Amino acid sequence: MIKITVAAFTVLATVFGTGCSINIGGGEAIKGSETKKAEAENTEGKEAEGKEAEGKEQETEETETSGDITSVSVDDTSMYDAYIRAVEASLAEYDVNKDELAFELVHIDGDDIPELVISKPGYYIDVYTYYDGNLSHIIDYWAYGAGGNYGYDYIPYKNVICNENSDMAGALKWINLYKISDDHNELESILDQSLTARYYDSDELYPDDLENVQMLDRPVYYYGDKKITEEEFHSYKPNEDYYSLGKGVDYDTFMQCMNNKTLPDYSKFPYFFINECDCTWGQAVTYSQMNGGTLMCIDTEEKWDAVTSYIREYYFYMSDVIYVGASVGPDGDYEWRSGEKIDPDLWLPGEPSKISATPEGDLVDETCVVLIYDSGTDQFYLNDVPNDLPAMAPYYQGQIGYLCELEFE
């Protein structure tokens, strides 16, 4: 039986280094947040020019010192202690291993105090907000990444959280939009009615006789029970740049930053995780995107060492074949999805063969790439495989996974 869940055995791993943000002129640093804030304020028509002029000299100094990292002020330092309490409460409530979690500070609403996102990638997210001395748990163990849930996105400083879902094998899709309430104690729905796209000809959300309902090539859009146009459908969701919730730095780094009253520098923390899933390589690409990441390109020595060391540490992946972000390119050669050519030394001896035989003797093209462990040499290698590995090599079912890398904005 082929499993199609994307929420199985997810474990978070750090690829590079540790570190907190730098402090310049008394302000804490977080990558890109001041830029997003300024754009949001200008869009909303706020008078930002005076503030920009006032901070210009400081901004120049910060740019020279830290590149993309710009300053954001957190005047209420009690936020740090509050978020330490939030982390401790979350760990106690869910009885979860802290090393499986990611911790991120994001600006969902329009103030200078960021929200805390605690996530177990592929499983759930928690979100806390701190406002006027009060700590509120506004998202409590919301699952994502499985059962048609595409995860949670937000627009920085615009107070919009978006969740997209699907059901009935993708024939039903809907959007939920939320905002932090004015008192910062809870989330509120932005839309009064459900917003759905249905690839079947029925005004019923879940038709009783679905087998007899005509399926459509293009969706029909609804706001609640009212049929609307495609333009009206898209007008309900703000047309902005969205960023995914559910990634971050590791526990030790985050707690160190909170204790030091500094914000994490996320630029040093690309993350990856492995999902065990009997899917095709193409599905692995889609599932990685649904989890807010990409099928990982192990195109540097540092990434290769980090991934293989991680698998050795969590030895239950040693027998798996793991889809990676590499396949046959336009010129017929294998390459990473980043466009980088694959180092020939990474291939299993005798590979890539570009073709294989099924148990029935049928020949199939091998257009995709997996990472495997060879117990004979105690080494990791790349090997080429067909796109539909579960069907072409059923003896691998139950031992197939994919490697997903989460990226920061």
CA distance 254 to 257: 5
pLDDT in tens, 98-141: 988 889 999 999 888 999 999 886 688 999 999 989 999 999 99
CATH: 3.40.50.11540, 3.30.9.10, 3.40.30.10, 3.10.100.10. Which one for 270-406?
Answer: 3.10.100.10
Q: In this structure, what token pair is assigned to residue 277?
A: 């899933």
State how far the Cα of 88 lies from the Cα of 82, in Å rounded to an integer.
10
Please report the pLDDT score of residue 68 as a whole number. 31
Domain positions in the chain are 28-165+173-189+236-267, 192-235, 270-406
| C-alpha span between 192 and 175 (Å, rounded) | 12
Residues 234-250 have pLDDT tens digits of 999 998 878 888 777 88
Burial of 27 (0-12, 13-18, 19+ CB in 10 A): buried
Read off the pLDDT of residues 221-230 as tens digits, 9 standing for 90 and up: 999 999 999 9
Contact between 339 and 325 under an 8 Å Cβ cutoff? The reply is no
